Amino acid sequence: MPSVLHTGTLIWASALAVVALIVLGYLISFRRRNRRDRERAGAALLHGPQQPMGAFPYIDPAVCIGCGGCVAACPEKVLGIVGGLAVAVQGSRCVGIASCAKACPVQAIEIALGDLRGRADVPWMTDQRETNVPGVYVAGELAGLALIRNAVRQGRETVHAIAADLAGVARKDPELLDVAILGAGPAGLAAALTAVESGLRYAVFEQQSDLGGTIYNFPRRKLTHTEEVVLPLYGPLRKQEYSKEELLELFRGLLEKHRLEVLFGQKVLQVIPEGGLFHILTVNGAWRARRVLLALGRRGTPRKLGVPGEQLPKVMYQVRDAEEYRGKKIVCVGGGDSAIEAAMGLARQAGNQLTLSYRGKAFDRVKAKNLETLDKLVKRGKIRPLLGSEVLEIRRDQVRLRTAEGEITLDNDYVFVLIGGEPPFPFLRSIGVLFGNEAGNDPATAARSV
């Protein structure tokens, strides 16, 4: 009998020891994760204000149970667990795909918008996205939000608002457009399809030779999020991610099927308001329209370094097909997602020697997925990152840079400058469009300022 009791005691003791080890392991992991997330939050604050300026996860602390499901679900590592609750430790990375909200078992998270109207880089808009210039509307990235889903939704909603505004207006002039759509990216395409659906007379003006806007300039096979996208006259896009090629093929199919009035190679030079109408002047002609929808995107003209030698033909401002470059010594300049993605694509090609130059101390504005892949390529020796560096001069077969350790000169075949673009803000200002809080919050005041 004592031996049975002794055996039972050993079993219980062993079980308790296992439970204690599991609990101890969990507590150590929890404290380590909590400390890491606090450090991430502190580091994020050093790089500027964290108030929501676009899509942003709002977490109800009274409902959150701190399970961490949202942290694991977010591909951009926006969230963390601090003090036992989920918090947005790097809110500026949120792109609004709402994975965290779907993963939350208690529905404590809602993806909403921050204060777009106060941003100096976003046009002043009403709730219908009409600017202070009556009859001029904005949709897509220019309105302050990224993601194809947002661009499509805004293009559709804005044309619906225009159609409602023009309801009952007599159409006596067959050459007068109901709406001129500037830009054939996702927002412009959705706007054109909605115009067909609504029976509006329209035309899309696109300065490039193909559809897609920003997507057209993506590297080959770049994946894009299209979650919960519903295209007018087509329906929902079933997949959560599409390659650049798949999306462009889909867009071209819609162009042909519905015979969309898209005018390629028609860069708009001026939009002149006059007498309640608008004169649209392009490089090849002139049109008139009742309403104008600006779906231009935000990239505009590529930013330049402004250094000697930048005019050399080996200097590029975008990478469309990384496979064209093999066995080359390449310098990529930039620290955003576009620069990182281009560098990774080029680094994977046989024989390339890739140096990534960025003047910042860390890639703190880059998507988490890109950071993870970049780290792997750096460890494999595929990419040499030069943080805190700056290009001083570009020569025919070399590049001179300033680094934390002093000036260096690298042998070089190509330089890719990927530091963003100059947004089309001067063009908008030429129309009379105001930005941020320049016009206050009173539509009447804004309209009088034109």
Residues 98-125: tens digit of each pLDDT: 778 788 877 778 765 555 555 677 899 9
Q: Which pLDDT belongs to residue 344?
A: 93
Residues 141-158: tens digit of each pLDDT: 888 776 788 889 999 999
Given a cut of 80, whether residue 188 has pLDDT beyond it is yes
Given a cut of 90, whether residue 357 has pLDDT beyond it is yes
Average pLDDT score over the chain: 82
pTM (predicted TM-score): 0.67
Collapsing DSSP states into helix, strand and coil, what is residue 419? coil
The CA distance from 364 to 359, in Å, is 12
**DSSP calls for 155-200:** HHHHHHHHHHHHTT-----TTEEEEEEE--SHHHHHHHHHHHHHT-
Residue with the larger pLDDT of the pair 298 and 96: 298
Given a cut of 50, whether residue 49 has pLDDT beyond it is no
Query: Which residue in this structure is represented by tokens 């910042």?
Result: 360
All domains of the chain in start order, with CATH = 48-115 (3.30.70.20), 136-298 (3.50.50.60), 302-422 (3.50.50.60)
Q: Which pLDDT belongs to residue 446?
A: 45
Hey, how many other C-beta atoms are within 10 angstroms of the C-beta on 49?
10
Average pLDDT over residues 219-238: 73
- Percentage of residues in the chain with pLDDT exceeding 90? 44
Average pLDDT over residues 272-296: 94
Dmax (CA) for the chain in angstroms is 106
Residues 301-322: tens digit of each pLDDT: 788 999 999 999 999 988 877 8
> Do 69 and 104 meet the contact criterion of CB atoms below 8 Å apart?
yes
Q: How far is CA 10 from CA 3, 13, 201, in A?
A: 10, 5, 84
Given a cut of 60, whether residue 3 has pLDDT beyond it is no
Residues 398-437: tens digit of each pLDDT: 999 999 899 999 999 999 999 988 788 899 999 999 987 5
- ∠ Cα 120 42 110 (to 5°): 65
Residue with the larger pLDDT of the pair 46 and 328: 328
Average pLDDT over residues 32-36: 57
